[in-house]
Structure 1
Amino acid sequence: MDTYSDIKYVKGVGPKMAESLNKCGIFNVLDLLLYFPRDYENISVRKSILECAKAEKVIIECTVLNVLGDIRLKNNKTLSTIIFCQGDNEFKGKWFNQTYAKNSFKISSKYLITGKVDKFKEEITIMNPKIVKNTSMDENEIIATYPLKNNITNNFFNKIISDVLCNIIITENLPKGIIEKYSFCSLNDAIRSIHSPKSLELLNEAKRRLKFQELFTYSLKILMLKEFIKSHNNGIQFKMAKELTTLKAMLPYNLTKAQSKVVREILIDQKKDIGMNRLLQGDVGSGKTIVAIITMFNVVKNGYQTAMMAPTEILAKQHYEEIKNILKDFSLNIQILSGSTTAKNKQLIKQDLKSGTIDIIVGTHALIEDNVEFENLGMIVTDEQHRFGVSQRNRFSNKGKNIDILVMTATPIPRTLSLYLYGDLDVSIIDELPPGRQKIDTSYESMENSSKVYEFALEQINKGRQVYIVCPLVEENEEMKLSSVEVLYEKLKKDQFKYIEVGMVYGKMPSKLKNEIMDKFKAGEIKALVSTTVIEVGVNVPNATVMIIENAERFGLAQLHQLRGRVGRGEHKSYCILLANIKNNIVRKRLGILIKSNDGFFIAEEDLKTRGAGELFGIRQHGESGLILSDVIDDISILKLANSEAKRLIQSDNACDVMVKNEILQKIEQTSSYICFN
């Protein structure tokens, strides 16, 4: 067995279970070993069932006394019951609508189970008990728990991990000097301990090693991008196109002083004989896109092509429409390339890009496909660049030679991190909003008052306005008790909004359907849009005046500020209402920051403080950053060490170091993970 063996050939898996594992993103042995635990349960303390308090979550050892038949209840639920015992003490395990759960238990067998205790008079019950470990298994005291779905049990997952680890040896791939310098455990030991730790000390050592491994490789990739930019730094010298004056005079509004300053900075860069590599920061609604359009226009008028890449199709389509509108009088060939572009149009667009007949192309990740070629690309713009992985940024930069690069973000980046994330970029900041932007009335309400909030939203709709409603989840999650798009959408259609048109969008919805719904919302046909954070970035509907965010306590402040920025874009008074489970002063204090301030830079800094650096730009390690274990803020000390060692390796002429560097970079391309091994 090796790391690239198909998961279906692992003992106990087979084709049917492999399909369920595939839905978790697990296709081979490497994927399995990189599917790290969400949490751990320490089972060294085993309580007697008599000592357990009501509503307490416990782990106890017990024996199955009897498996009872299922009972069909009046409320269309099915009750499954098992009688457990601890010596002479009996108690029940109960499941609702999980008839398969009891199939994992055998009469007279011993188990460690976990669940929440319920007590009624003399009867003790554990609700929805799960097997932590069959007592015939190994003697670990700490059990890994995984974020599983599709009826894959934690017990089964632990078992196949254990079987794989018994049949594989993981080859070390960090230089020996680094391992000795920082007293790291071996990669083989780290992978074993992260899944099956013998102690908390060994678990922490494994995490330290793997986080370093991930951030070292991440830094290596960033530094290679820097090297590429350096080696291709003989930039194109663009002249100041005379048509710029005409374009500025034709704009539907005057640029702010900050916008004009940034345009000048970029145009000066474009005149130089070294390639531009500039980061543009600006708060929500500060007008970054028009700056990009003006500077892209200058490049086009010098006879070169330009490209803009956005993280979502919704945003790409919006940029495309805005560019077409602003430049409509200049006879330019402007196209969009995304996942929903038809195969026929994709082929035509790719041909026209290669022949040079397209002046400006806007798109999503589709722009970095290998078969997308340019005749003479002069400038690329990436919007919300933090949402693109390092590999994606590399591939986009490789589309041309000596091109100017402009990266834009509405999320302020702390200086200490920007060096690691983006290298030595020149930074431009738009620090003022265009005149006429409405101040958004922000408030928070308890989730219990949601009916009152939706009544207010309906009043606004009856005045001709539109409403956004954002939820943290797509599907219902009973354990977390969070609002979901699907459930709230159905509820609003049947209740408060039953006489108006309601729409629903979320990230994984088919692009064509998502675009149709967004077009209807922009046209005013849909009055209320229930959504995930897919509408967080850049969506512009001036008639939308109410933003309702359910379970607002689950979002970072910077992300809430981004969402709030979707309203207040027209002439009408706008509102942002944060519906939250307000259980303590910490939640009140956090949400209070949004009520007091509309300054995105201030809010981002406060977000880092109040959330303990828990969220970077609204994404976590399993999101677009590509990191699966570490976090570039929480693990900043490890990142500094990893970055330092990666720099040394990049600069080294030692044959062994060069071989290690090339091998790691090759593995990243093969696995798309920063933790890679044989």
Structure 2
Amino acid sequence: MELKENYIELILITHKNQKNSKVEQAFITYLNRNLNELMKVGDGRVKLFAKIGIRTFKDLLFHLPYDYVNRSYSPLIHEMQKDDLVTLELTVTEVSFNNSIRSKAPSKIFCENESGFVTLIYFNKIPPYIKQNFLINSKIIVSGKIDIQSEGFVIIHPDIVVKSNERYKIPVIEPIYLKVEGLTSKLIWSLAQKILPLIPTINEWLPQELIAKKGWKSFVESLKILHKPSNLNINNLKIARDRLAFDEVLAHQICLKLLRKKLQQGAKNTVQFSGQLVNDLLKNLGFQLTKEQQMAVKAIEQDQLSDKKMLRLLMGDVGCGKTLVALCAALNAIESKKQVAFMVPTEILANQHYKNITRYVEKLGINLCLLLGNTKAEERRQILEKLQNGEIDTIIGTHALFQDKVTFANLGLVIIDEQHRFGVKQRMSLLQKGENADLLMLSATPIPRTISMLSYGDMDVSIIKNKPVSNKAIVTTILSKSKIAALLDRIKAIIQKGERVYWVCPLIEESEKLQLSYVENSFAVLIQSLGDNVAMLHGKMKPEEREKVMQEFKEGKKTVIVATTVIEVGIDVPEATIMVIENAERFGLSQLHQLRGRVGRGSAASYCVLLHGHKVSLVSKKRLNILKNFSDGFRIAEKDLEIRGSGDYLGFRQSGESGFKFFDPLKNGQMVDFADNYASSIVTKYPNPIIKILLQLFDKDMYFAQHDVTLT
């Protein structure tokens, strides 16, 4: 596993001529070399590495150890204790190899030094490269864990055996790496040691005063400390990891700042409105906006009046009234003679928004239309023609709005509901249909502040936590599926009073592996128990079938809906008072909270029943109890982050991010504020060659390329 000769020459030439070449590019070029540079031609382990995402030198170096073993202890043999990890220099005095396939007797190698005797024991066949060391009177170095048996001190299957003149092959502190079949920790370590010494030098992208204050080494030195520590100083290892984590989160925040800069390029045309349409809307509501809703409306108004394009996220708990705030923004744009595009992820939600907003604006003279994937051809043609001519003020639709044929006369505001369902490229393609259009994104998924900064650092954020006073609190209970008969009796009584019930299942079809309930089975059970007023709703149904089911549910023709998580967001039926979630332990807390938010929208008492299987882990019980004890979505999100870790949360952005290698919001969350502020100062001076290298180091150049955004 040696570096190819021509590659060694290339590196040496690079080092000699760094003064006359672009040092930064040599750095990136080296790290992007293929891992097969270090392996023999045809080595199957290259494919095994590729399976775990390790294809380049950089991938391997970013695969950090998760633990370390101290092999520095070399005691006198008679001083050793059971389970001591020792490294001993020994002389082989006698060997007893078991070469028989039938015999189960172990192979034994008897060794000694001036302080005593040790026996090496192998129960399996000894690999040839190790067996060659066991010649009588040969001197070897052995490292492994001590056991004490009737015959004295033994080491069963030593970790390391080398000749006495190969001590350099035994690390004093050995990093331990996560491994897969065919790829040992020792292999990963040995390859890392070949890469590290030849990394080209690179200029520093952080200010020296910050480095000195934090006690950090350079990025490369930090990698070397983690892959080849000189001692087990926990603080030094933490400092090295912190340096890598900060660089990574800094690159991430710079990326978001550059994206914001790109989106806000050029001053938008001045927007003029007096707020008359909003005032007319509020007069006709019959109730007042909450204080937080009013604050959000004001912040959005200021953005709309600014000469910079609005990039704002409106985040709020389920049922807090985000749609009404978004409607106020739409009315301001319409008053300014601008058009509004309101995009949602599902046709069910699009229909609901259309009906609700129509009800709100029917007295305001607003031209509103709905465009879906299944809109008939002639109706679609008329809508597109009116949209292009400026006869339509607001269009509500799904992904159909992305289509090239959808053109606007004067698009001024894009509203995206449940924005985590859409990627950056989709958002930008819709924004580009207007000249400097404002962007308002809505999210009913409460997100912890740290995650919010990481996911939406390119946006201003408004938060609505409080719900209207009219909304009833939802009582949440945890119930074993063994008590389902009693639950069905309770549901019978509920539906006789005219109230409605959601019954949510995780899967549409049976899965033996997961052993989850599925919609068809639950539907059959509920039909048998509750009669033909039970309906079924899932994503595989045709849109018109789903719409028919929802309409019958709203009208009370069907009082129970058995569904998948298609009803997670947007469904608004005030008469629905019970939410039953089967196999609730299989859902994330945020998703459970979203589902729970489908009830409690009317004046009647509402309930959420978390049905769990017969065998539930302690962690699952803890998670379900969090939902039972808390109703604040933001508090639940914080608890969910503590339990699940950051991985799932960082997927909220749905924008092609590959996740963090070094940065962990739970451990390094305090870095985000500083990294965000520092990123803001850097972006004002961008482009900068060394900062571009930082972005390339963490693949942010690839992220931008995926979304048709240039780094310069």
Matched residue, 1:575? 607
What SS does the aligned partner of 1:335 have? Answer: strand
Which residue in 2 is equivalent to 1:336?
A: 371
**Does residue 312 of structure 2 align to residue 310 of structure 1?**
no
User: Scaled by the length of structure 1, what TM-score is found?
Assistant: 0.62
Task: Within 5 Å, give how 1:291-306 maps onto structure 2.
Answer: 291-306=325-340
In the alignment, which of 509, 516, 524 is matched to residue 545 of structure 2? 516
1:628 to 651, 659, 674: 659
> The residue matched to 1:322 in structure 2 has which SS?
helix
| CA apart distance, 1:388 | 4.7
**SS of structure 2 residue aligned to 1:538:** coil
Pairing 1:182-261 to 2, within 5 Å after superposition = 183=217, 215-228=249-262, 231-234=265-268, 236-240=270-274, 242-251=276-285, 253-258=286-291, 259-260=293-294
Aligned 1:30-45 pairs, distance under 5 A: none
Q: Deviations over 1:450-479 (max 9, x none)?
A: 45435534554565523232438987373x
Distance 1:245 1:294 in 2: 9
2:525 to 472, 495, 516: 495
Secondary structure, aligned partner of 2:270: coil
Q: How does 1:44-83 map to 2 (within 5 A)?
A: none
Instruction: Report the Cα offset of residue 109 of structure 1.
Output: 13
In structure 2, the CA distance between the partners of 1:638 and 1:347, relative to structure 1 (3 Å rule), is: farther
> Is 1:546 matched up with 2:578?
yes
Partner in structure 2 of residue 598 of structure 1: 631
* 1:576 positional shift: 0.2
Partner of 1:320, secondary structure, is: helix
> Helix, strand or coil: the match of 2:518?
helix
Look up the equivalent residue of 2:580 and give its one-letter code. Answer: I
- Distance of 1:447 and 1:211 partners within structure 2: 44
TM-superposed deviation, 1:444: 1.4
The answer to whether the 8 A contact 1:172-1:186 is kept is no
Q: Does the residue aligned with 2:271 lie in a helix, a strand or coil? A: coil
Kindly name which structure, 1 or 2, has the bigger radius of gyration based on alpha carbons: 2
Give the conservation status (yes or no) of the 8 Å contact 2:371–2:401: no
Please say which of residues 381-390 and 172-181 is displaced more in the overlay.
172-181
Code of the residue aligned with 1:543 in structure 2: it is: E
Q: How does 1:114-129 map to 2 (within 5 A)?
A: none
Aligned counterparts of 1:390 and 1:668: Cα–Cα separation in 2: 10
Q: Distance in 2 between matches of 1:475 and 1:620?
A: 30
Per-residue CA distance 1:347-368 (angstroms, 9 max, x = gap): 7766654554442233445545
8 Å contact 2:503–2:579 — kept in the other structure? yes
Q: What SS does structure 2 have at the residue aligned with 1:503?
A: strand
Q: Indicate conservation of the 8 Å contact 1:613/1:634, yes or no.
A: no
The whole-number CA distance in structure 2 between the counterparts of 1:570 and 1:492 is 26
Contact 1:502 1:527 in 2 (8 A): yes
Q: How far apart, CA to CA, are the structure 1 residues paired with 2:400 and 2:105?
A: 59
Q: Does the CA contact (< 8 Å) of 2:320 and 2:464 recur in 1?
A: yes
The equivalent residue for 1:441 is: 475
Tell me if the contact between 1:437 and 1:570 (Cα under 8 Å) persists in the aligned partners: yes
Alpha-carbon separation, structure 2, partners of 1:356 and 1:173: 59
Q: In 1, distance between residues paired with 2:406 and 2:274?
A: 29
Per the TM alignment, residue 567 of structure 1 is displaced from its structure 2 partner at its CA by 0.9
Q: Which amino acid aligns with 1:513?
A: K
Q: Cα deviations across residues 148-186 of structure 1 (Å, max 9, x unaligned)?
A: xxxxxx66999xx99x99xx9999999754699655766
Say which SS state the counterpart of residue 284 (structure 1) adopts. coil
Compute the displacement of 1:223 (Å).
Answer: 0.4
| Matching of residues 313-392 of structure 1 within 5 Å | 313-328=347-362, 330=365, 332-337=367-372, 353-364=387-398, 367=401, 373-385=407-419, 388-390=422-424, 392=426
Is contact 2:451–2:650 with CA below 8 Å preserved after alignment?
A: no
Closer/same/farther in 2, CA of residues 648 and 547 from structure 1, 3 Å limit: same
Q: How is 1:461-500 mapped onto 2 (pairs within 5 angstroms)?
A: 461=495, 464=498, 465-471=500-506, 476=511, 478=513, 484=516, 487-498=517-528, 500=532
Can you list the C-alpha shifts for 1:550-602, whole angstroms capped at 9, x where unaligned? 34345554443322111122354321012346655x7666544544443334x
Measured in 1, the distance between the counterparts of 2:105 and 2:175 equals: 20
Structure 1 partner of 2:560:
527
> Which residue in the other structure is 1:149 paired with?
none
Q: Residue 440 of structure 1 contacts residue 575 of structure 1 at CA under 8 Å; is this kept in 2?
A: yes
Between the aligned partners of 1:443 and 1:301, the Cα distance in structure 2 is: 47
In the alignment, is the contact (CA less than 8 A) between 2:495 and 2:559 conserved in 1? no
Q: Distance in 2 between matches of 1:37 and 1:454?
A: 52
Name the structure 1 match of 2:702: 667
Structure 2 counterpart SS, 1:568: coil
Shift of 1:540: 1.7
1:103-157 deviation per Cα after TM superposition (whole angstroms, max 9, x unaligned):
xxxxx999xxxxxxxxxxxxxxxxxxxxxxxxxxxx99967578xxxxxxx6699
Partner AA of 2:579 in structure 1: M
Distance 1:492 1:426, change over 3 A: closer
**1:445 Cα deviation after fit:** 2.0
Instruction: Give the deviation of 1:410 after TM superposition.
Output: 3.2
1:424-456 deviation per Cα after TM superposition (whole angstroms, max 9, x unaligned) = 866545454335423322211235434543553
5+ residue gaps, structure 2: 1-28, 35-40, 71-99, 108-124, 128-169
CA displacement at 1:412 relative to structure 2? 4.2
Task: Report the alpha carbon displacement of residue 295 of structure 1 after superposing the two structures with TM.
Answer: 2.8
Checking the alignment, whether the CA contact within 8 Å between 2:343 and 2:415 is kept in structure 1 is yes
**Superposed CA RMSD:** 6.2
Q: Hey, what's the Cα distance between the residues in 1 that align with 2:582 and 2:176? A: 36
Q: Shift of residue 415 of structure 1?
A: 4.7
- Say which SS state the counterpart of residue 495 (structure 1) adopts: helix
The reply to whether residue 408 of structure 1 matches residue 437 of structure 2 is: no
Q: Distance in 1 between matches of 2:105 and 2:414?
A: 67
State the distance in 2 between where 1:213 and 1:262 align: 34
Give 1:375 deviation, angstroms. 3.0
Shift in Å, 1:643: 4.0
2: CA distance between counterparts of 1:354 and 1:425?
29
The SS at the match of 1:289 is: helix
Q: Return the offset for 1:290.
A: 1.8
Are positions 1:290 and 2:303 aligned together? no
Letter in 1 for 2:546: I
Cα deviation for residue 296 of structure 1 reads 0.6
CA distance in 2, matches of 1:43, 1:600: 43
Identity %: 30
Name the count of aligned residue pairs: 573
- Give the distance between the partners of 1:332 and 1:671, measured in 2 at CA: 36
In the aligned structure 2, how far is the partner of 1:660 from the partner of 1:440? 52
Aligned residue for 2:371, secondary structure, equals: strand
Question: How far apart, CA to CA, are the structure 2 residues paired with 1:419 and 1:571?
Answer: 36
| C-alpha spacing 1:257/1:612, structure 2 compared with 1 (3 Å) | closer
Could you tell me whether the CA contact under 8 Å between 2:340 and 2:393 is conserved in 1?
yes
Aligned counterparts of 2:667 and 2:405: Cα–Cα separation in 1? 38
Q: 1:615 to 1:284 in 2, by over 3 A?
A: farther
Displacement of 1:305: 0.7
> CA 1:475–1:367 in 2, change beyond 3 Å: closer, same or farther?
farther
- 2:593 maps to 561
Code of the residue aligned with 2:632 in structure 1: it is D
Deviation at 1:288, TM superposition (A): 1.6
